[in-house]
């Protein structure tokens, strides 16, 4: 049997699988762009602002006062007209300076406007000049930026009606397990479903969009049918990845002619994780059935696949000051941890079926096979809900 790849190598394989099937960007209207990642640099085709405008309500005055009030667009020197905030200020004529006199700083008597404040207005006072925010051709938003409401408003100011955004890969979920119940208290030998209630949100945080979910029994033909019929660019399964008589995912993939890219990973938990490509190009990530094992495998292996499929870089590991931690010969150990005053403290609850430690974790600590010494630099990955809140999941 071929040796299982290391966790790091499996991440690279997952990313490469996504890159080889990378999806083209799509154009969306501005009102659907918030939360999406920009696919191309946004360069403004116009100056911002693109015309001179009043910054205050009051009067547009030309030259020195007092000023005769007129009702023309472009007053002559010695004249003034009313103006509101944001209104166009025409170019000056005859070399005279322009200014806006605030409503509270002037008084009109007999059709003549006078300033009531000694130093107002100065030349150019309360006039927003063109290109004070950005010049035509200037980069405003870099490709890859996750768009927030202010980005979208800025894009509108440049005259854009739609934006090119990175694709959001579609994901179909397949949950296996005869022993799983979907509501209420489980009896002995039964367990509550811990995947259906959270995987759509988790997949959204990892960069995908769930378009379907199926729950199937531990039966070979049902597994084959679910994989065959799933209509998405990526299929994520849970359970059924072991080698027992109740585990059918691997055999089902082979029956469908899938190419196994990762046939197990040298990692704990999550060793039975598999990544495959079906003959029609759909990608499959088969996760273990234990809750912590499945979630850690999803966070560390599904994320780079979805990222590259969408045309962006995967989340990069960061360095933390690690605790003393035992390794496991030949395997990477992944454990939930919390950041306490800049130091990683591993969770007490880190068994493959335990979720309590991950629920309160800051990230996932990467413990190499040789282990870690106290204070030694270690790699970690953030938990996605601290990077992207549930309410900001991509649409």
The least confident of 5-19, 58-72, 198-212, 339-353 is 339-353
Tokens linked to 193: 């479903």
Q: How many domains does the chain have?
A: 4
Render pLDDT for 100-112 as a digit per residue (tens, 0 to 9): 999 999 999 999 9
Q: What is the pLDDT of residue 234?
A: 98
Closest CA to 363 of 322, 395, 394, 313: 322
| pLDDT recorded at residue 270 | 95
pLDDT for the residue numbered 244: 87
Query: Quick check: helix, strand or coil at residue 268?
Result: strand
Boundary-marking domain end, from 264, 291, 310: 310
Residues 237 and 116 occupy one common structural domain: no
Report yes or no on 1 lying in a domain: no
DSSP string, 58-91: EEEEESSSSEEE--SSSPPTTEEEEE-TT-B-PP
pLDDT for 250: 96
3-class SS letters over 168-184: CCEEEEEEECCCEECCC
Report cis status (omega within 30 of 0) of the bond before 49: yes
Which residue has 């200014």 as its token pair? 99
Please check whether residues 60 and 83 belong to one and the same domain: yes
Is the predicted pLDDT of residue 313 greater than 70, yes or no? yes
Residues 277, 256, single domain; the answer is yes
CATH number at residue 77: 2.170.190.11
pLDDT at res. 56: 97
pLDDT in tens, 228-257: 999 999 999 999 898 888 889 999 999 999
Phi-psi region of 305 (alpha: psi -120 to 50; beta: other; left: phi over 0): alpha
Same domain, 34 and 158: yes
Is residue 156 in some structural domain? yes
Sign of the Cα pseudo-torsion (79, 82, 84, 90, in order): negative
Query: What distance in Å separates the CA atoms of residue 156 and residue 31, rounded to the nearest whole number?
Result: 10
pLDDT of 391 over the 70 cut: no
Average pLDDT (294-303) is: 96
Residue 325 belongs to a domain with what CATH number? 2.40.340.10
pLDDT of residue 390: 47
21: its two tokens? 């099937």
Say if residue 200 is in the same domain as residue 304.
yes
Q: Which helix (H) or strand (E) holds 16?
A: helix 7-20
Whether 301 is covered by a domain: the verdict is yes
Same domain membership, residue 254 and residue 122: no
Indicate if 267 and 352 belong to the same structural domain.
Answer: no
Crossing angle of helices 7-20/303-310, nearest 10°?
30
Least confident of 2-11, 19-28, 56-65, 274-283: 2-11
Which of 255, 285, 310 corresponds to the end of one domain?
A: 310
In tens, the pLDDT along 16-33 reads 999 999 999 999 999 999
**Residue 305 maps to a domain:** yes
The per-residue pLDDT for 2 is 65
Residue 389 in this model has a pLDDT that exceeds 50: no
Task: Give the model's confidence band at 355: pLDDT under 50 very low, under 70 low, under 90 confident, else very high.
Answer: confident
- 2 domain residue, yes or no: no
- With respect to residue 244, please indicate whether it lies within any of the assigned structural domains: yes
Decide if pLDDT at 57 tops 90. yes
Q: What percent of the chain has pLDDT over 90?
A: 78
Q: What is the mean pLDDT of the chain?
A: 92
Torsion angle defined by CA atoms of residues 275, 278, 281 and 286, in that order, rounded to the nearest 10 degrees:
-30
Range in 93-107, 130-144, 260-274, 342-356 with the lowest mean pLDDT: 342-356
pTM of the model: 0.82
* Residues of the domain holding 381: 318-392
Q: Is the pLDDT of residue 394 over 60?
A: no
Tens digits of residue pLDDT in 248-291:
999 999 999 999 999 999 999 999 999 999 999 999 999 998 99
pLDDT confidence band for 324 (50 / 70 / 90): confident
pLDDT at residue 162 tops 50:
yes
> How far apart are alpha carbons 332 and 5 in whole angstroms?
10
CATH number at residue 158: 3.90.105.10
**Residue 322 belongs to some domain of the structure:** yes
């Amino acid at each position: 049997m071929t040796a299982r790849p290391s966790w790091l190598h499996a991440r690279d394989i997952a990313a490469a699988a996504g890159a080889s099937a990378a999806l083209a960007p799509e154009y969306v209207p501005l009102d659907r762009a918030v939360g999406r990642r920009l696919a191309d640099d946004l360069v403004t085709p116009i100056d911002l602002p693109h015309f001179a405008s009043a910054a205050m309500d009051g009067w547009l005055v030309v030259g020195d006062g007092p000023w005769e009030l007129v009702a023309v667009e472009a007053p002559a020197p010695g004249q003034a007209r009313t103006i509101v905030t944001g209104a166009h200020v025409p170019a000056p004529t005859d070399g005279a300076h322009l200014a806006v006199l605030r409503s509270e700083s002037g008084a009109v008597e007999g059709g003549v406007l006078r300033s009531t404040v000694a130093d107002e207005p100065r030349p150019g006072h309360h006039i927003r000049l063109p290109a004070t925010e950005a010049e035509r051709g200037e980069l405003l938003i870099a490709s890859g930026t996750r768009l927030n409401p202010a980005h979208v408003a800025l894009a509108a100011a440049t005259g854009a009606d739609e934006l090119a955004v990175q694709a959001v890969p579609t994901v179909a979920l397949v949950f296996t397990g005869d022993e799983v119940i979907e509501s209420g208290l489980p009896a002995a030998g039964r367990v509550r479903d811990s995947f259906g209630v959270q995987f759509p949100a988790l997949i959204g945080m990892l960069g995908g969009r769930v378009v379907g979910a199926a729950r199937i029994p531990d039966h070979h033909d049902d597994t084959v049918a679910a994989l065959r019929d799933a209509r998405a660019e990526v299929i994520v399964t849970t359970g059924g990845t072991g080698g027992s008589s109740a585990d059918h995912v691997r055999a089902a993939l082979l029956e469908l002619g899938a190419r196994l890219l990762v046939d197990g990973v040298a990692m704990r938990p999550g060793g039975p994780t598999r990544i495959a490509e079906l003959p029609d190009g759909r990608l499959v990530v088969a996760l273990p059935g234990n809750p912590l094992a499945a979630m850690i495998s999803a966070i560390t292996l599904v994320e780079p696949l979805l990222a590259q499929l969408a045309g962006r870089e995967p989340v990069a590991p960061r360095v933390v000051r690690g605790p003393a931690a035992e390794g496991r010969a030949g395997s990477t150990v992944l454990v939930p941890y919390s950041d306490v005053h800049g130091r990683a403290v591993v969770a007490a609850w880190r068994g493959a079926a335990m979720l309590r430690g991950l629920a309160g974790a800051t990230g996932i600590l990467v413990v190499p096979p040789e282990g870690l010494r106290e204070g030694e630099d270690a790699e970690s990955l953030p938990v996605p809900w601290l990077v992207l809140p549930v309410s900001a999941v991509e649409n």
